Amino acid sequence: MKKFVLVLALVALVTSAVLTTTALGKSKAKKGSVDICALLPDTKSSVRYTLFDKPALEAAFSAAGVTGTVLNAQGDTQTQITQGQQCVTNGAKVILVDALDSGTGVAIETAAKAAGVKTIDYDRLVLGGSASYYISFNNVAVGVLQGKALVAAMKAKGIMGKGKKPVVAELDGAPTDNNATLFAKGGDSVLAPYFKSGQLKKGPKQAVPNWDNQKALTIFEQMLTKTGNKINAVLAANDGLGNAVVTALNSHKLKPRPVTGQDATPQGVQNIISGWQSMTVYKKVPLEAKAAAAAAIAVVKGTKVATNGTTADSVGGRSVPSVLLTPITITKVNYQMLFTDKFLKKSDVCTGIYAKYCKTYKKPF
Strands 94-97 and 118-122: parallel
CA distances to 161, 185, 206, 227 from 167, in Å: 12, 19, 15, 9
| pLDDT score of 298 | 97
| Structural domains of the chain sorted by starting position, each given as residue range(s) with its CATH number in brackets | 2-131+284-325 (3.40.50.2300), 139-283+332-359 (3.40.50.2300)
| pLDDT score of 25 | 43
CA distances to 67, 98, 214, 229, 352 from 109, in Å: 20, 11, 31, 45, 45
Residue of 55, 118, 111 whose CA lies nearest to 300: 118
CA distances to 9, 10, 99 from 16, in Å: 11, 10, 16
| pLDDT score of 26 | 43
The pTM score is 0.85
Residue of 48, 53, 41, 35 whose CA lies nearest to 105: 41
| pLDDT score of 360 | 58
Q: Determine the residue type at 168.
A: V
CA distances to 106, 107, 182, 297, 321 from 114, in Å: 12, 11, 30, 21, 21
| pLDDT score of 22 | 40
| Residue 233 · residue 150 · CB < 8 Å | yes
Question: Which residues in the chain come in under a pLDDT of 50?
Answer: 1-29, 361-365
* DSSP-assigned letter for residue 256: P
In the structure, how many helices (H) and strands (E) does the chain have? 14, 12
Cα dihedral sign for 177, 82, 115, 304? negative
| pLDDT score of 270 | 98
Residue 255 CB neighbours (<10 A)? 8
Residue 176 sits at the vertex; the CA angle it makes with 111 and 174, to the nearest 5 degrees, is 140
Phi, psi for 94 (deg, rounded to 5): -150, 145
What pLDDT, in 10s, does the model give residues 20-42?
444 344 444 455 689 999 999 99
